[in-house]
Protein backbone atom coordinates (compact mmCIF):
# COMPACT_ATOMS: atom_id res chain seq x y z
CA UNK A 1 0.00 0.00 0.00
CA UNK A 2 1.53 3.30 -1.14
CA UNK A 3 -1.05 5.63 0.38
CA UNK A 4 -0.73 9.26 1.48
CA UNK A 5 -2.78 9.66 4.69
CA UNK A 6 -4.37 12.96 5.68
CA UNK A 7 -4.80 13.38 9.45
CA UNK A 8 -8.19 14.27 10.95
CA UNK A 9 -8.32 14.59 14.76
CA UNK A 10 -11.92 14.66 16.02
CA UNK A 11 -11.08 14.70 19.74
CA UNK A 12 -11.61 18.45 20.23
CA UNK A 13 -14.96 18.39 18.41
CA UNK A 14 -16.19 15.51 20.55
CA UNK A 15 -14.93 17.21 23.74
CA UNK A 16 -17.08 20.25 22.79
CA UNK A 17 -20.10 18.00 22.27
CA UNK A 18 -20.04 18.33 18.47
CA UNK A 19 -20.95 15.40 16.25
CA UNK A 20 -18.04 14.86 13.82
CA UNK A 21 -19.62 12.21 11.58
CA UNK A 22 -20.59 14.62 8.78
CA UNK A 23 -17.06 16.00 8.52
CA UNK A 24 -15.51 12.54 8.71
CA UNK A 25 -17.89 11.25 6.05
CA UNK A 26 -17.05 14.15 3.74
CA UNK A 27 -13.33 13.54 4.21
CA UNK A 28 -13.72 9.81 3.49
CA UNK A 29 -15.86 10.38 0.41
CA UNK A 30 -13.34 12.91 -0.95
CA UNK A 31 -10.47 10.40 -0.90
CA UNK A 32 -8.90 9.78 -4.25
CA UNK A 33 -6.62 7.03 -5.49
CA UNK A 34 -3.62 6.48 -3.22
CA UNK A 35 -5.11 8.77 -0.54
CA UNK A 36 -6.18 7.77 2.91
CA UNK A 37 -7.48 9.27 6.11
CA UNK A 38 -5.82 8.90 9.50
CA UNK A 39 -8.63 9.49 11.97
CA UNK A 40 -7.74 10.21 15.60
CA UNK A 41 -10.62 9.56 18.01
CA UNK A 42 -10.99 9.51 21.82
CA UNK A 43 -12.75 6.11 21.64
CA UNK A 44 -12.96 3.16 19.28
CA UNK A 45 -15.41 4.36 16.58
CA UNK A 46 -16.86 0.92 15.78
CA UNK A 47 -20.00 2.19 13.95
CA UNK A 48 -17.82 4.40 11.73
CA UNK A 49 -15.52 1.48 10.92
CA UNK A 50 -18.51 -0.63 9.90
CA UNK A 51 -19.85 2.21 7.74
CA UNK A 52 -16.57 2.71 5.85
CA UNK A 53 -16.29 -1.02 5.19
CA UNK A 54 -19.86 -1.10 3.87
CA UNK A 55 -18.96 1.81 1.59
CA UNK A 56 -16.09 -0.17 0.03
CA UNK A 57 -13.18 1.22 2.04
CA UNK A 58 -10.61 -0.60 4.13
CA UNK A 59 -9.88 0.29 7.74
CA UNK A 60 -7.03 -0.52 10.10
CA UNK A 61 -7.34 0.30 13.80
CA UNK A 62 -4.69 0.61 16.48
CA UNK A 63 -4.56 2.11 19.95
CA UNK A 64 -2.78 5.45 20.13
CA UNK A 65 -1.45 7.40 23.06
CA UNK A 66 -3.46 9.03 25.86
CA UNK A 67 -6.41 6.68 25.31
CA UNK A 68 -6.91 7.71 21.70
CA UNK A 69 -7.54 5.43 18.75
CA UNK A 70 -5.95 5.69 15.31
CA UNK A 71 -8.04 4.55 12.36
CA UNK A 72 -6.52 4.43 8.89
CA UNK A 73 -9.11 4.46 6.13
CA UNK A 74 -8.39 3.96 2.43
CA UNK A 75 -10.02 2.70 -0.73
CA UNK A 76 -8.86 -0.73 -1.79
CA UNK A 77 -6.98 -0.74 -5.11
CA UNK A 78 -9.42 -1.15 -7.96
CA UNK A 79 -12.34 0.18 -5.88
CA UNK A 80 -14.75 2.81 -7.13
CA UNK A 81 -13.61 6.42 -6.92
Contact 5, 34 (CB under 8 A): no
CA distance to 2, 11, 32, 52, per residue, from 55 (Å): 21, 24, 14, 5
Q: How far apart are the first and last CA of the chain?
A: 17
Collapsing DSSP to helix, strand or coil, 72 comes out as strand
With 0.95 as the threshold, say if the pTM is over it.
no
Domain ranges of the chain: 4-70
pLDDT in tens, 25-64: 999 999 998 899 999 999 999 999 999 999 999 999 999 9
Alpha-carbon distance of 75 to 54, in angstroms, equals: 12
Amino acid sequence: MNTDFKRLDVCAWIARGEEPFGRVRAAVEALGAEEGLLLVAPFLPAPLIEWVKCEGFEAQVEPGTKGRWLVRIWREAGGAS
